[in-house]
Structure 1
Amino acid sequence: MRDQPQQPSNNNNEIDLVELLRSLFQQKYLILAVASLVTLMAAAYAFLATPYYQVQSVLRPVDQGSLDELNGTGVYELTPAEALSRGAAGLSSYESRLKFFRDHQELFTGLVEPGRSLDQVFEEFNRSAFTMLQADPKKPNSLSESVGISLTYPQGVDGVAVVNGLVAYVLEAERDRIATDLKVLIANRLFGLEQKIEAARASYEASKQAQIATLLEQDALRRAQLQDELQALRTELKTRRESRIKRLDEAAQIAESLGIQNPTTPSAMADAQRKGQVVRTEVNSREIPLYFMGVEALRAERQALSERRSDDFSEPRVAEIEKELALLSRNRQVEILEQRHNEDLYLKDLAEWRQEAAQLKGIKFDTAGLQLVRVDQLALDPLTAVKPKKALIIGLGGVAGLILGVLVVLLRNLLRPKAEAIDSDEK
């Protein structure tokens, strides 16, 4: 008798699957009602939520020939890969996007909200809307490499104009930057050439002055040497003259003692002495002694030598020295160097530098027509919104509604036995 009350409780705790399915079927309208309500709410969200669209633009490298004119200047060098990289850097630059936003605020009127600054609006939009499209890094680097930019924007924003305008804005900014860089490089090269020319002029002037100083120094040295030689030569001539006078005095004494008044020779003197007594004279030298000139001749030569004021005429070398000194009084090479007016003609490499400067000044490259990248894909008006995805949201709403309806029915089945037991106890 005691075990009988426990048997019904075990049966009550067991879940009868058939009974459960029957209960769900019996309350199918409740499940369908809940599912319909949730589906209706999902559909309302799908159709009432602000739609978002997505557009993109893809850039690819240009041919090498498109940059040939720029590279042909010899000042600026840019490869297609570098040009594409610069375009990608400009598109991903926060500063470039912000400048475009500020310069084209009419394209973003749908984003402006009261109480928010333009920078705040752009910050939020830039963080969630723009996406850079990069080439697959696993693929080898080639001319097929591409970069792009994608924009996800809400209704009310002209996304096509934003993307295409941003691409054109960035490329125009890069062209302006290249034009500025080109001008700076040309100006720096011209300034460097001017510095080279000025340095060459200063070097030439210094070398010319050094050459003039060297020539004048050589002339001064040679003049001093010649003057020393002339002075020494005149001293030697004076010494010779004084020596000659002494020899003439000595010879005159001998001639007077021998009675030789007029010039004679040893043979003539021997013949004259044979008439009287014989005097034997032995001459060992080939040169006839001076005293044979006679006293009168010796004294006449001595007087002439004593009265001489200059001995220069007696030595040909003196005339040569005076000639050289006269030539050294003016250095024609120094005069020619000092009379040069257009000294640039004598500068080394000046013609080459001026040719290079003329070529640099002749560069008239217009970057307005420079094609940095090839726009492989322009942004076009999208056909459908990327979000919200209406079919997916409605489908998920229907599934969620069915699940929620089943849960409601199960909850009612769990709560109903308890309610019935309470009612029975009260009775």
Structure 2
Amino acid sequence: MPEQSPKTSYSTDEIDLVELLRSLFKQKFLILFITCLITLAAAAYAFLATPYYQVQSVLRPVDRGSLDELNGTGVYELTPSEALLRVASSLSSYERRLAFFRDNQALFTSLVESDRPLEQVFEAFNGSAFTMLQADPKKPNNLSEFVGISLTYPEGVNGVEVVNGLVANVLEVERERVASDLKVLISNRLFSLEKKIEAARASYDASKQAEIANLLEQDALKKAQLKDELLALRAELKTHRESRVKLLDEAARIAESLGIQKPTTPSAMGDVQGSGQVVRTEVNSREIPLYFMGTEALRAERQALNERLSDDFSEPRIAEIEKELTLLSHNRQVEILGQRQNEDLYLKNLAEWRQEAAQLKGIAFDTSALKLVRIDQVALEPRSAVKPKKVLIIVLGVVAGLMIGVFAALLRNIFRSRDVASA
């Protein structure tokens, strides 16, 4: 048998690109129709959808001199960075935004719905509309710190008035807070000073009473010691007097037995005894016995001692003790302490505290003119909407239309091929 040349055969599963492109070209009107249809739908959405606009306001710290008057009160201290942080915290506060929303509902007329509570309407708006702006610490080109607030809002909302009004409202509220804090701090400082003065008065009164008690106690102790000494001296004098009386009694008996009635001496008695030999008794450096005074003198002295009512005159120390007791009966230092009229004059640091209180009461700081931050950028009317992005949507519509058109043409071509094969 003659050899037959092999014929090239192609699998039905292989795709002929040329045939595919030729098929797509034949269905160009279908592709164009679908592309135009989707493009028109995208354009309709781009031009008919509610436009959204975006505005923002940027705040920066004030110079330190703007807060000198506030810090100069000596009660309140606030740095520019702290002031900026306070304003930023208030701007981001949900409660502050809600309060502004309630007070300025005329700015949000397009958002208010009769069938929804005001809080729900604001929560939905706040969650997507407000954005806080702040400097990125990782970027070295930020010359100074700042904070800001950005608002993305639909048509019908006065976004410029909302942002500028919210910033102005926050600044006013923060100024009122500073004024309130300053008033509270001054009141607390004055209350503290009053407590210090009261404590100083109580301490002074306690120390004065303690000093008076100490002085009176010392006087009482001194009086008791002097009285004890006086009693001891009087007892001693009485003992001496009684001993003297006994000595006089004994001497009187001796003198009577010797027949001595008048005062005499041993020498005189020797002259009287005997006419012959004279016996002289010389007593040198010895006290003459009492009985030589004679019975008359001895009895007279004894009678005087027995009739004596007091021995005080015989001891000079008793007069000194009575003088000291008389002086102790009136302590002039205690009297002067008790007669003090204006005791505040004796309080330590009182003048300094009163001067500080007078300075605090004299603080009249007007916070209405206080500049907490510098508004670097106010919100201005936007030139165009940020969404929908019309050009991008139309371009995406064209691309999507082409893709869907090509896909539809391919499906149509596949179904046709199957119909031909089955026939």
Does the alignment pair 1:416 with 2:401?
A: no
SS in 2 for 1:152: strand
Which is further off, 255-264 or 335-344?
255-264
Match of 1:353 in 2: 353
Match of 1:81 in 2: 81
In structure 1, what residue type is equivalent to 2:305? L
The alpha-carbon distance between structure 1 residues 139 and 395, as it changes in their structure 2 partners (threshold 3 A), is closer
Q: Is the 8 A contact 1:67 1:80 kept in 2?
A: yes
Alpha-carbon offset, residue 193 of structure 1: 1.8
Cα deviation code 1:273-298 (max 9, x no counterpart): 68654123242543233233333322
Alpha-carbon offset, residue 306 of structure 1: 1.9
The alpha-carbon distance between structure 1 residues 246 and 114, as it changes in their structure 2 partners (threshold 3 A), is closer
Give me the whole-angstrom Cα distance separating, in 2, the residues matched to 1:314 and 1:208: 43
Match of 1:146 in 2: 146
Give me the whole-angstrom Cα distance separating, in 2, the residues matched to 1:108 and 1:92: 19
In structure 2, what residue type is equivalent to 1:200? A
- What TM-score results when the alignment is normalised by the length of structure 1? 0.89
SS in 1 for 2:113: coil
Give me the whole-angstrom Cα distance separating, in 2, the residues matched to 1:161 and 1:177: 24
Match of 1:399 in 2: 399
Q: Is the 8 A contact 2:35 2:402 kept in 1?
A: yes
User: Mapping of 1:378-393 within 5 angstroms?
Assistant: 378-393=378-393
Give me the whole-angstrom Cα distance separating, in 2, the residues matched to 1:304 and 1:77: 94
SS in 1 for 2:279: coil
Cα deviation code 1:295-341 (max 9, x no counterpart): 33222222222221111111111111111111122222222222222
Match of 1:4 in 2: none
Q: Once superposed, what is the RMSD of the aligned Cα atoms?
A: 2.7
User: Mapping of 1:269-418 within 5 angstroms?
Assistant: 269-270=269-270, 276-283=276-283, 285-418=285-418
Give me the whole-angstrom Cα distance separating, in 2, the residues matched to 1:76 and 1:403: 68
Q: Is the 8 A contact 1:107 1:157 kept in 2?
A: yes
The alpha-carbon distance between structure 1 residues 13 and 246, as it changes in their structure 2 partners (threshold 3 A), is closer
Match of 2:32 in 1: 32
Q: Is the 8 A contact 1:81 1:143 kept in 2?
A: no
In structure 1, what residue type is equivalent to 2:203? S
Which is further off, 23-32 or 306-315?
23-32
Which is further off, 235-244 or 67-76?
67-76
Match of 1:111 in 2: 111
SS in 2 for 1:110: coil
In structure 1, what residue type is equivalent to 2:368? A
Give me the whole-angstrom Cα distance separating, in 2, the residues matched to 1:11 and 1:232: 152
**Structure 2: any 5+ residue segments left out of the alignment?**
1-6
SS in 2 for 1:202: helix
Match of 1:158 in 2: 158
Cα deviation code 1:111-154 (max 9, x no counterpart): 11231221111010000111111221325899812221111001
Give me the whole-angstrom Cα distance separating, in 1, the residues matched to 2:19 and 2:306: 173
Cα deviation code 1:41-79 (max 9, x no counterpart): 211111111110111112222222222222222222222
Cα deviation code 1:79-138 (max 9, x no counterpart): 222222221211111111111111111111121123122111101000011111122132
The alpha-carbon distance between structure 1 residues 13 and 143, as it changes in their structure 2 partners (threshold 3 A), is closer
Match of 1:98 in 2: 98
Q: Is the 8 A contact 1:58 1:148 kept in 2?
A: yes
The alpha-carbon distance between structure 1 residues 383 and 279, as it changes in their structure 2 partners (threshold 3 A), is same
In structure 2, what residue type is equivalent to 1:412? R
- What TM-score results when the alignment is normalised by the length of structure 2? 0.90
Q: Is the 8 A contact 2:226 2:325 kept in 1?
A: yes
Match of 2:42 in 1: 42
Give me the whole-angstrom Cα distance separating, in 2, the residues matched to 1:15 and 1:204: 112
Give me the whole-angstrom Cα distance separating, in 2, the residues matched to 1:296 and 1:107: 136
Match of 2:55 in 1: 55
Match of 2:206 in 1: 206
Match of 2:231 in 1: 231
Q: Is the 8 A contact 2:271 2:280 kept in 1?
A: no
Match of 2:253 in 1: 253
Q: Is the 8 A contact 1:61 1:143 kept in 2?
A: no
In structure 2, what residue type is equivalent to 1:182? L
Give me the whole-angstrom Cα distance separating, in 2, the residues matched to 1:252 and 1:13: 177
**Structure 1: any 5+ residue segments left out of the alignment?**
1-6
Match of 2:173 in 1: 173
Give me the whole-angstrom Cα distance separating, in 1, the residues matched to 2:309 and 2:113: 121
In structure 2, what residue type is equivalent to 1:416? R
In structure 2, what residue type is equivalent to 1:59? L
SS in 2 for 1:138: coil
Q: Is the 8 A contact 2:266 2:282 kept in 1?
A: no
Give me the whole-angstrom Cα distance separating, in 2, the residues matched to 1:307 and 1:113: 125
The alpha-carbon distance between structure 1 residues 16 and 143, as it changes in their structure 2 partners (threshold 3 A), is closer
Which is further off, 348-357 or 267-276?
267-276
SS in 1 for 2:301: helix
Alpha-carbon offset, residue 361 of structure 1: 1.7
Q: How many percent identity over aligned positions?
A: 77
The alpha-carbon distance between structure 1 residues 279 and 146, as it changes in their structure 2 partners (threshold 3 A), is same
Q: Is the 8 A contact 2:267 2:281 kept in 1?
A: no
Match of 2:215 in 1: 215
Q: How many residues align?
A: 418
Give me the whole-angstrom Cα distance separating, in 2, the residues matched to 1:47 and 1:9: 55
Give me the whole-angstrom Cα distance separating, in 2, the residues matched to 1:169 and 1:358: 34
SS in 2 for 1:56: strand
